[in-house]
Amino acid sequence: MRMNKRILVFGMTTAFAASLLGGCGTSTSNTSSVKSSVTSNAVAFNNTTLTGTVTKVDGSTITLSLASSMGGMMGGVPQGGGQMPSGNGNAPGNTPADNNTSSDNSTDSKDQQTPPDKPDGDSQDSNNQQTPPDKPDGHNTTDTQNTDTSDSNTTAESNDSQTPPDLPSGEALSGTDSDNSTTFTLTISDESVLEDITLDDITEGTTLTITFGDDNSITSIAKSESNSNAPGGMGGGSTTVDTGTGATTITSDTEDSNATYASSSQDENALRVEGSVSYTGDNLTIKKSGDTSNTENSDFYGLNAGFLTLDGANTTLSNSTITTDAQGANGIFVYGEGSSVDVSNTTITTSADNSGGIDVTGGASIKANNLNIETSGNSSAAIRSDRGGGTLDVSNGTYTTNGTGSPAVYCTADISVSNATLQANASEGVVIEGQNSVTLTDCDVTGNMQGTYQGDENENLHTIMIYQSMSGDAEEGEANLSITGGSITGENGDLIYSTNTSSVVNLEDVDLTLANDTLLRIEGNDGSRGWGTSGSNGADMSLFATKQTLTGKIIVDEISSLTLTMSDNSSFEGSINENQEGGTVAVSLDDSSTWTLTGDSYVTSFEGSMDNVNLNGYTLYVDGVAQSK
């Protein structure tokens, strides 16, 4: 039986701390009560669920970031005096629908990671198709003050330089959103409240969902997918632009060379260029340490990046080295319409989570040539885009990722890559979300996706993924994937997977190597990660094969469809829906293309000559009718 560990939660204006202590105090009905001398600013979380990304782990003490706001739960303390209620406070009101306390990821973690669901807690932002809001004048600055209490088990931490007034007796916190990040600290001394995880599973970047029952008792702590857990750190969430500050900020036209720029401070870029200026840098060394306070703002706006270009600035960078060793520290980040970077012959190395190589958001652009990028953290795509998209034009170079949820390419923009090596050692090779496009020309792509979110057996392993997360970060519509020449190598799972979206895929003269026997899987998902609603979240794909050799199984479920068109001496050796999955499949062969069956196959329509079909001892059913030569 799971024990409910009672917890008293103490809040300040923008931060609060809690302790979860088994066997402390008086035990009644399998619930332990925690006593404390802290008597101000109590926060009631009766029957509430919070989601946050772990920013620090110290033994059994966990610190989480609850994004930039909590939808009124932490948005301000009611004025007036008063003491902490002796019993329960009133439960807070419902969190606004557009509030997101998770994350990407990733765990951010934009899971971190995963692709979301976008991860749990993603925003269903109805304004997602609009240009992100302008950066506010000035930058957020926050002083931190730690207040020790006489209770050695509980610490109240405040980001406010002034102690807020006491909460009136018997009232729960309420108010407007806070623009500052909110932290939540708890100490777990009894793992019975952990669901399907252990303390060892909780690391920096992990996203946890904490469920409160009555009387502020925590009933469960579960690992959940955050925005940054999506591949590359994708996710919905904060809509307040926070780009932080810069250790060095360029605000006028500048030519620069042989310089070193560094930052070890939280939320600070080592080098940033902003405003309608031009900057040229050659042979620069850029170093960044010091974690972000908010992975979403790092994913969306370049908070804490090594090198940030924004507000219409145009940057040219060459022969340089960028190294980051901090969470949420992307290498090169470009944010906003009119902002651009042209970078060449540069090495970018990132080692922590939510730290991609080159990133565009908000309609910005990057042109990159001959880069050597390697990322080691989770949710850290080498080439990536996020909310608001933009364009990336990449040629030559090597782009390697080593973390989970870290494809070589994560696309919510228009991305073109040519003559490059794209290697994902623990993730998909390429992910496209929503109405966006990836064009690969003479590239060698390798994917080796390692496991799924929380080991979900219903989730697919694959090398290329095309999907719609419904997080609001990518406009809904038809995705486009075009691959000419080069190779695609799958080292685990299916080669191509699509769910909850429509797409057009063009393959021409690409060397395909499958990890298993499935070439293409088009199907719905269980909806647990926010990728549409189960039963109506299938996918539709038009696949054009030109001068292309295809092998393996094609699977299309009953809520999905495929149009396969083969031309210019293309060949397919494989089966389609050999287990009668029931999807709508139309196949067209021109006079120069062939299909050799490796199993009974079921299609809705067939256009072409049966002379070009080698039944190979199997049966081809077209609209339920067996075909013969």
- The full DSSP string for 23-81 is T-S-EETTEE----S--SSB---TT-EEEEEEEEEETTEEEEE--S--TTSSS-PPSS-
Distance separating alpha carbons of residues 164 and 75, to the nearest angstrom: 12
Mean pLDDT check: name the lowest of 3-17, 255-269, 408-422. 3-17
DSSP 8-class letter at 91: P
pLDDT tier at 524, thresholds 50, 70, 90: very high
- At 460 the pLDDT is 87
- Give the number of other Cβ atoms within 10 Å of residue 169's Cβ: 14
Q: What is the pLDDT of residues 378-436, one digit of tens each?
A: 999 999 999 899 999 999 999 999 999 999 999 999 999 999 999 999 999 999 998 99
Residue 136 reports pLDDT greater than 80: no
Pairing of strands 321-325, 347-350: parallel
Residue 199 three-state SS: helix
- At 259 the pLDDT is 98
Instruction: Label residue 376 left, alpha or beta by phi (over 0 means left) and psi (-120 to 50 means alpha).
Output: alpha
Q: What is the mean pLDDT of residues 451-460?
A: 63
Q: Write down the pTM of the prediction.
A: 0.66
Q: What is the pLDDT of residues 321-353, one digit of tens each?
A: 999 999 999 999 999 999 999 999 999 999 999
- Of the two residues 582 and 424, the one the predictor is more confident about is 424
Mean pLDDT check: name the lowest of 36-40, 57-61, 366-370. 36-40
Q: What is the mean pLDDT of residues 255-283?
A: 98
Token pair for 182: 């909110």
DSSP track, 138-185: S------EEEE-S-TT-EEEESSSSPPPPPPTT-----SPPSS--EEE
- Of the two residues 223 and 315, the one the predictor is more confident about is 315
Torsion of CA 47, 50, 56, 61, to 10 degrees: 10
Residue 589 reports pLDDT greater than 70: yes
Q: What is the pLDDT of residues 69-107, one digit of tens each?
A: 333 333 332 233 333 223 333 333 333 333 333 333 333
Going from the C-alpha of 510 to that of each of 268, 421, 526, the distances in angstroms are 43, 14, 32
- Determine what percent of the chain is predicted with pLDDT higher than 70: 69
Domain ranges of the chain: 1-225, 443-448+458-629
Going from the C-alpha of 163 to that of each of 23, 78, 160, 170, 248, the distances in angstroms are 31, 13, 7, 20, 33
Q: What is the pLDDT of residues 219-235, one digit of tens each?
A: 888 876 444 444 544 44
Token pair for 259: 């310089």
Instruction: Tell me which residue has tokens 């970060």.
Output: 473
- At 89 the pLDDT is 32
Q: What is the mean pLDDT of residues 305-315?
A: 99
Residue 286 three-state SS: strand
Distance separating alpha carbons of residues 375 and 179, to the nearest angstrom: 30
Token pair for 18: 């809690």
Strand boundaries in 174-331, DSSP class E: 183-187, 194-195, 207-212, 217-224, 245-246, 249-250, 254-257, 260-263, 268-269, 271-274, 278-282, 285-289, 307-310, 314-318, 321-325
Q: What is the mean pLDDT of the chain?
A: 77
Distance separating alpha carbons of residues 268 and 596, to the nearest angstrom: 58
Residue 137 reports pLDDT greater than 70: no
- Give the number of other Cβ atoms within 10 Å of residue 537's Cβ: 22
- At 190 the pLDDT is 77
- At 496 the pLDDT is 98
- At 185 the pLDDT is 80
Instruction: Label residue 310 left, alpha or beta by phi (over 0 means left) and psi (-120 to 50 means alpha).
Output: beta
Token pair for 595: 């299909």
- At 182 the pLDDT is 62
- Determine what percent of the chain is predicted with pLDDT higher than 90: 55
Mean pLDDT check: name the lowest of 363-367, 397-401, 525-529. 525-529
